[in-house]
Amino acid sequence: MRTRRFEVAGLDGGRVGLTSARIEQLGTRLEGPLLTAGDEGWDEAVLVWNAMVTAEPSLVVRPASARDVATAVRFAADQGLLLSVKGGGHNIAGTALADRGLTLDMSGMREVTVDPAARLAHVGPGCLLQDVDRATQQYGLATVLGFVSGTGVAGLTLGGGFGYLTRRFGWAADNLEQVEIVTADGRTRTADRAENPDLFWAVRGGGGNFGVVTRFTFRLHEVGPVVTGGLAAWSADRADEVLATYRELTATAPRELTAVALVRLAPPAPFVPAGWHLRPVATLLVCHSGADAAADLAPLRALGEPVFDQIGAKPYVAQQSMLDAMEPKGLNQYWKAEFLPCLPGDYLPAFRDAALTVALEAASPLSFSVVFHLAGALNDSGGDGGAVGNREARYISGFSGVWPPQTDGDGIVAAVRKGWERIRPFSTGGNYVNFQLAEDDTTRTADAYRGSYERLRRIKAAYDGDNLFRVNRNIPPGG
């Protein structure tokens, strides 16, 4: 039988030749499967959320344990292979896949163990948000996660992570109590505030630069199981009124209330009156996890005459998944966003004009312009906030272009960039690393870690001096 030879991307930019015998030898040391193109499970393993990502690895390991991860990491380091880690595959920049390299698909490690007495959740690196929410809500508990239930917990958390509970409890990374992590030397370490504290500080916001996390331990809080939340929309002709109400609402909102403003084309969904399909609307998305929702939402209700209003009592897990239809896999995604310190008077008309431009020029029912209210616990680092930067941010605003593959998206990209340029003068100067695109340069990444970047480079040098973990929003080793 003739020996096959695989050309795998190397760390030096060249190609590393691996024989089928060498690959099979690696496979015998793993509990989980080792896949090459054409194997059962390959298509799922290399599928990511953003269809603009065209990278495809040469090899995929689906680890079944931390030991498998360590074996694969040592193999990649010894052979000088380009290495990436895929959690949920939801990252917009496509950093889950090492093009022609070796990808670790963590989807086989999807366990969640809840300790309700200690209020802790131990979470596998392949888990999606829905896995954690469903497990913790059985006890009326939750941790800070994002807005779309199919998002991977690992990537979200390592980049900071924000969602409906951020105003109450901080970034997702702020709620980490411990990680188990395989570093570039193939060692499995525990990192928390007492053991390897520098590494623990770095992974709380520093992305996948420092190793492969094989277990997350999150702090849990009493939330739900029922919250008040949902969407309400008004004609975009009333955008000024809606946005002014949003500013009023967020200026006085208790931390139990998170509100998001969106301008978009109304989707052709069953809850939208047929006459409003694909017409511009100004929308408010809310989640109130406290006791006095009616009083706190009174400014919103005072607007009256909505196109639709779905705000009401619902299970927290339903709130966490209600935007899933807006974020399906397999579409092209192009985003631009900035952190904001406030919503000054001249910001709202600039955002309105930019948002309507994006809605009309993008002309896509899944594209949207957005302002998230973040202010609250994430501004309270308490001196132990980890590497997440931009603690002064009180809002994040941006533009999302979404369109089907094989169709021309140049106009959508141009509209998104035009909108982004309109709001950049209002930025703190920082940005959210999880929203960065593949096209964004190292300066943009450094801006996401203002005040933390040089310390991150030093810790990177200590744990990964050869930059094995570089297929990410990379922080290069430094002095």
pLDDT of residue 63: 98
Burial of 291 (0-12, 13-18, 19+ CB in 10 A): exposed
- The string of pLDDT tens digits covering residues 420-457 is 999 999 999 999 999 999 999 999 999 999 889 999 99
pLDDT of residue 188: 98
Q: Are residues 104 and 116 in the same domain?
A: no
Q: pTM for this one?
A: 0.95
Q: Please calculate the CA angle 323-328-332 and round it to the nearest 5 degrees.
A: 120
In a domain, 201, yes or no: yes
My answer on whether omega of the bond before 116 falls inside 30° of 0, hence cis, is: no
Using the predicted structure, report yes or no on whether residue 379 has a pLDDT greater than 70: yes
Report helix angle 347-362 to 239-252, nearest 10: 130
CATH of the domain at 53: 3.30.43.10
Using the predicted structure, report yes or no on whether residue 1 has a pLDDT greater than 80: no
Burial of 423 (0-12, 13-18, 19+ CB in 10 A): buried
Q: Are residues 327 and 202 in the same domain?
A: no
Average pLDDT of the chain to the nearest whole number: 95
**Domain end (from 67, 87, 108):** 108
Q: Are residues 307 and 426 in the same domain?
A: yes
pLDDT of residue 460: 98
Please tell me the least confidently modeled range out of 168-177, 357-366, 379-388: 379-388
What percent of the chain is modeled with pLDDT above 70? Answer: 99
Q: Are residues 359 and 409 in the same domain?
A: yes
Distance CA 263, CA 266 (A): 9
Q: Are residues 61 and 132 in the same domain?
A: no
Number of independent structural domains in the chain: 3
| Domain that includes residue 409, residue range | 226-435
Burial of 47 (0-12, 13-18, 19+ CB in 10 A): middle
Residue 385 pLDDT level (bands cut at 50, 70, 90): confident
CATH of the domain at 459: 3.30.465.10
Using the predicted structure, report yes or no on whether residue 2 has a pLDDT greater than 60: no
Q: How far is CA 101 from CA 10, 11, 313, 462, in A?
A: 7, 9, 47, 24
Q: Are residues 362 and 269 in the same domain?
A: yes
